[in-house]
Structure 1
Amino acid sequence: MDIEGTILTGRDFDPVRGRVVVEDGRITAIEEERVESTDVVLPAFVNAHTHVGDSIAKEAGAGLSLDDLVAPPDGLKHRLLRAASDDDLVAAMRRSLQYMQRGGTGTFLEFREGDVAGVRLLDRAAEGLDVDPVVLGRGSADVVDVADGYGASGARDADFERERAATREAGKLFGIHAGERDDEDIHPALDYDPDFLVHLVHAGEDHLDRIEREGVPAVVCPRSNLVTGVGFPPIETLAERTTVALGTDNVMMNAPSMFREMEFAAKLTDLDAPAVLRMATVAGADIAGLNRGCVEPGREAHLLVLDGDSDNLAGVQDVVRAVVRRAGVSDVKRVVLP
């Protein structure tokens, strides 16, 4: 299979006119030559932090505090999750997964509530779709057996030593929320030697020094943080210290659109477009240990094709900047997810 157009290649997304050659689900070559296609070819997005279970409760709880909205065990989302039937939860999650796939997301890292049963429900929701969940279960340590790892709520909520030990033994991911409400749980979260931290809105210099020293990646969710009123993460400073990826967080509060997340991050920081696009693609893949998120030979062919001649994108002068700050779901022409 050949895909022609302007190809955003490598980790810097250098634009190349030509074609991507795909064989058996992998990129085998990038051939630079004249082509007529106006399409733009880039990596499919990797959404590095989601809670798709609360698709059952979109726009619920307006005006509530972060704790009242999502804190376990009795935040609004948890009460709504308990009240919903399995079939309703599966149907709601499936709608969100379909939206993500149609919007160019090929992979998402999901903090999945409901222990083993919750993971099984997400498996049902994803059945027959191409979008690929990396599922970090929540609940007992037993969930590690059926998930891709464990997604901890935060160091102040419980002791996660058993869960961390289970992920180490299984060679699976351990991620944990930290620094969302305040800075008091950041060092305790780092004490678990996590594979990544989520949020870090309140990370101070001592936290940043430790994150850099220990090489711990970060996932930031700027739209969510502003919606819940906790502040804005120090994305630029974090990017100077470690790998940073973007996530859309709770579907309750935000549509799981990486286009929106990129535009938001780009327009509220001084980061350049390639840096933001890395956060939406290969950074999340790196965190999850996946060989995707980048258009180069040898990578899995998880690709997004945009219509470069759409009313929105026709005439752009800087294609990478346009992808990050202007493009949207309506510009998606094709999503290639082998």
Structure 2
Amino acid sequence: MILEGTVLRGPAFDPVEGRVVVEDGEIAAVEEGSARSEDIILPAFVNAHTHIGDSIAKEAGGGLSLDELVAPPDGLKHQLLRETDREEMVEAMRRSLRFMQDGGTAACIEFREGGVEGVAAIHDAAHGLDIDPVVLGREELAAMEAGDGFGASGARDGEFGRERTATREADKLFGIHAGERDSHDVNAALDLDPDFLVHMVHTDQLHLERVADDDVPIVACPRSNLVTGVGMPDLDELAATTTVALGTDNVMLNSPSMFREMEFAAKLSDLPAREVLAMATHNGAAIAGLNCGLVEPGRDARLLVLDGDSDNLAGARDPVRAVVRRAGTSDVAEVVLGAAD
């Protein structure tokens, strides 16, 4: 497979005219030269924090507080999850995964409710699709063993020391929500030595120093934080402290669109477009341990091709900035996620 156009190459996403050569599902070469296409070729997205099960309750719970919406075990989402039969759940998750795939998302890091059965359900939902959910089980150690790690709700909800130890011994991911409602659970979350933190809206200087010292990545979900009314993360400060990735969080509250999340993050902060694009691609891939997120030889060919001559993107002077702040699903020309011959 050969893709031609403006290639956002390497970790700096340098726009170069040329082509990407794909062989056996891997990027074999990135070659500069004249291109016969106006397409823009970039890495596919990695959505670094999702709750895909909430697809059964889109736009439910308007006006409720964060705790009323999502706090275990009696928040609205948990009530609705318990009331939903498996077939309906799997189909709802499949539709969200397909939406994400069609919008150029290669993978997501999913905090999956429902124990072992919840992990099995999202695997069934993803069957036959090219998007790869990295599934962090919840509620029981067996769910971690059945999935790719453990996703903890937050230090205020439990101690999670046993789960952290077991996850480390299994060499799997351990992520935990922290600093979403307030800063009171951040130190306890950091004491668990997590592989990554989610949210970090509310932080003190001590927390940021600990994050920097331990090099703990953070997944920010600014649209979700806005909707739930908990405040907004200081993306500039977080990015100056550690690696930051982007997630769309709860499908009940937000469309799982990385285009929307990127645009919102870019306009919320003073970060360069290249840094925001890294948050939506390479940084999430690094947290998940995936060999994608950059257009360079040796990476898995998980790529997004945008029509640079669409009515929306035509005339853009800065292709990286246009991708981050302007592009949307209507500009998608091709999504390359499977192995290519």
**Which of the five TM-score ranges fits, normalised by the shorter chain?**
over 0.9
Mapping of 1:15-94 within 5 angstroms? 15-94=15-94
Match of 1:245 in 2: 245
Q: Check conservation: 1:248, 1:254, Cα contact below 8 A.
A: yes
User: Does the 8 Å contact 1:43/1:294 carry over to 2?
Assistant: yes
Q: Does 1:194 align with 2:194?
A: yes
Deviations 1:277-297 (A, max 9, x none): 000000001111111100001
1:53 partner amino acid: G
1:210-244 Cα deviation digits (max 9, x unpaired): 10001100000000001000000111101011000
Q: Who is 1:306 aligned against?
A: 306
AA of the residue aligned to 2:70: V
Partner amino acid, structure 2, of 1:69: L
Counterparts of 1:228 and 1:196, CA distance in 2: 22
Amino acid at match of 1:261: E
- Identity among equivalent positions (%) equals 68
- Residue identity matched to 1:113: E
After TM superposition, give the deviation of residue 68 of structure 1 in Å.
Answer: 0.2
| 1:94 alignment partner, SS class | helix
Output the CA distance in 2 between the equivalents of 1:57 and 1:12.
Answer: 39
The corresponding residue for 1:259 is: 259
CA distance in 2, matches of 1:210, 1:164: 18
Question: 1:125, 1:286 → 2: CA distance?
Answer: 24
Give the ranges of 4+ consecutive aligned residues of structure 1 lying more than 6 Å apart after TM superposition: none
How many angstroms apart in 2 are the aligned matches of 1:138 and 1:10?
Answer: 35
Secondary structure in 2 matching 1:156: helix
Question: TM-score, with normalisation over the residues of structure 2?
Answer: 0.98
Contact 1:247 1:261 (8 Å CA) reproduced: yes
In 1: Cα distance, 2:146 partner to 2:186 partner: 28
Give TM-score, length-normalised by structure 1.
Answer: 0.99
Matched with 1:236 is 236
Structure-1 residue corresponding to 2:326: 326
Aligned positions of 1:142-291 closer than 5 A: 142-291=142-291
Structure 2 unpaired stretches of 5+: none
Q: Give the aligned residue type for 1:262.
A: M
Give 2:51's aligned amino acid.
H
Give the partner amino acid of 1:39. Answer: D
The answer to whether the 8 Å contact 1:203/1:234 transfers is no
CA distance, structure 2, for counterparts of residue 236 and residue 43 of structure 1: 23
CA distance in 2, matches of 1:289, 1:104: 19
The one-letter code of the counterpart of 1:317 is: R
